[in-house]
Amino acid sequence: MAFTLVELLIASVMIAVLVVGLGTHLRGGLTVWRRATASGEAVQRQHVALARLARELANADVYDVREASYGEEAGTLPRPQFDDAAMAWFTVLPSSTRQPLPAVRFVTYRCEERDGVRGLWRTSQSLGEARARHAPMPELILPGCERMTLRYAHVPPDATEPLEWRDRWEQPERLLPRLVDVTLDLGAGGQLARRLTIPIGSLTAPNPPPS
């Protein structure tokens, strides 16, 4: 049985419509899948970044209470910093199979632009590198961070007293805050806020380390 030209044209048009429709649905499904994947990856990056920040704050330590140990020149320690937009402190990295003894590092966290990339950047130095004033290698922790806003508080002896929050923590080389409120402005990604703690066991250094 033969088909006429008109029948063949109609069949071709119907097949073309079906193909276009299927292609549109496939493109829509791929777009939704890509968006869901990107959203899931973004949430995962946020979780990892805050978990790392929380872990290093939980291991924060007053390394040396002597004022003469800190300064700008080589041979002295960089001063810890807890202000409204950045943090820098000494943290104790736990021992591992690769490193049998705990290690003290000087770490910084700041939302800024480096090499044209805006985000939450972290640096880490050993005590020797920090004393020698070696330039640390920055590590991008969370892309897209426009600003980090920080507040600090100390738990009062009387639990009924309200917390006193400060935008800057004075003399962190002698006493660390107990609570840190972190708010990350992620631009179109909204805001991410978390309250982190520094355990009471890390608040003082009864015996300064040897020079």
Q: Give the model confidence (pLDDT) of 41-78 as tens digits.
A: 878 899 999 999 999 999 999 999 999 999 999 999 99
Highest mean pLDDT (candidates 2-16, 26-40, 185-199): 185-199
C-alpha–C-alpha distance, residues 88 and 101, integer Å: 23
The pTM assigned to this predicted structure is 0.75
Q: What is the mean pLDDT of residues 101-123?
A: 93
Rounded-to-10 torsion of CA 207, 52, 141, 90: 0
Decide: 64 and 80 in contact? Cβ < 8 Å.
no
The pLDDT score that the predictor gives to residue 71 is 93
pLDDT, greater one: 208 or 102: 102
C-alpha–C-alpha distance, residues 155 and 195, integer Å: 13
The pLDDT score that the predictor gives to residue 211 is 43
Highest mean pLDDT (candidates 2-16, 95-109, 186-200): 186-200
